[in-house]
Every structure is written in C-alpha cells, then in structure tokens.
Amino acid sequence: ITFLPQRKEKPIVVYGTSIAQGACASRPGMAWTNILGRKLDYPVVNLGFSGNGRLESEVLKFVTDVSAEIYVLDCLPNLGPNKTNTEAEIKKRLRNSIQDIRSKRPEAKILLTQHAGYSDGEVDGTRRSVYVTLNKWTTEIFIELERNGFRNLYMLAKKEISLSNDAFVDGTHPTDLGMEQYARAYEIKLNGILTK
C-alpha cells in the first residue's frame, strides 16, 4: 500500500445537508460528492450535516477555514419556510453566507444550489410550495448580488439537477440513482466554472 501524494489543487468545498452527507446512498462511495470527485478527478471536501445545513455564520467560519477553489452552498432542504424561516430570514442567511465567504476568501468562486425538489411535489401542493418558494428567494438573492457587483458567483438550478421520480428513497433523499443524477448535474456545472 502506498499513499497518494497530496493534491495541489484547492478543493471544492460542499456545505450542505444530509443529501450532501450521503444519506440513503447504499455505501459511502455513492454519495454524490464522492461520485463527483471521481468524475472530475478533483478533490472534494464534504461538509454535509444531516438536518443541520442551515447557513449559520458560526458554521461558515469553519467552512471558510478550508481554502477552496469553489464553495458550494447546498443547504435549502434544511431551510423550509416556516414561522422561524421567513423570507427575510432565509434571504439574510443566503446573503450573509455569500458575503462571509467573499470577505474571507475574496478570490474563491461560490456556487449557490437551488432545492432539487421532492418526488411527490407534483401531487402534493404543500411539498411543492416549499421548494418553489425557496428557489424563488434564492434566485432573487442571486440576481440582487450580481447586480451589486458580485463576481464569480454561480447558481445550479433545480431544472439542471433534474432528479427523476425513481431517484428518491423517501421523496426527499436520493437513491444511488439520484446521487448519480445529482453528481452529473454538478459535474456539468463545475466543469464550466473550473475552466473560467
């Protein structure tokens, strides 16, 4: 057994939820972050926290301790709108997270990811409303920041992730197939960003 040398590239750092963590994948190598690292042949740091991807400033301080080429913020599934997570609060968290990263890592690229949706979204209006609302607010923040001069800011849209109905275990978490679809969407998006 020989150890591989440390990679010279700065990693892609993913801050996310149980979906990024790899929940419901059949084995650790099937988490979308692991698949993505193999597809891109690029180092990926997985900071997925089950139930706790909430864009908290305290966590962002640790996330940005890692010097990254790209920071991925994929936390919307843990930020469902409710009495606490109002439009103002969620927009504030999105805005502050991006600004926190930019202030500490001014040259880093940032990828903001929309909610990938639920498999029952087309038949359950309440569930559909969650991701449609979150994605609308995310798009508004993305546009606002771009208009205010933010550069190297990107967004991965739900339609680009495009999970199929067979891609879910429980309507929320991806199966191995869903993880593969997730990774493919990220591969396409990040290939375009890494070459810029």
Q: Write out pLDDT tens, residues 118-161.
A: 999 999 999 999 999 999 999 999 999 999 999 999 999 999 99
Cα–Cα distance for residue pair 50/168, rounded to 1 Å: 16
In the chain, the amino acid numbered 131 is Y
> What percent of the chain is helix, strand and coil (3-state, nearest 5)?
45, 15, 40
| pTM of the entire predicted model | 0.95
Q: Is the pLDDT at 107 greater than 90, yes or no? A: yes
179 pLDDT above the threshold of 90: yes
What letter does residue 153 receive in the DSSP assignment?
Answer: E
Confidence of residue 80 (pLDDT cuts 50, 70, 90): confident
pLDDT digits (tens, 9 = 90+) for 36-45: 999 999 999 9
Predicted pLDDT of residue 193 = 96
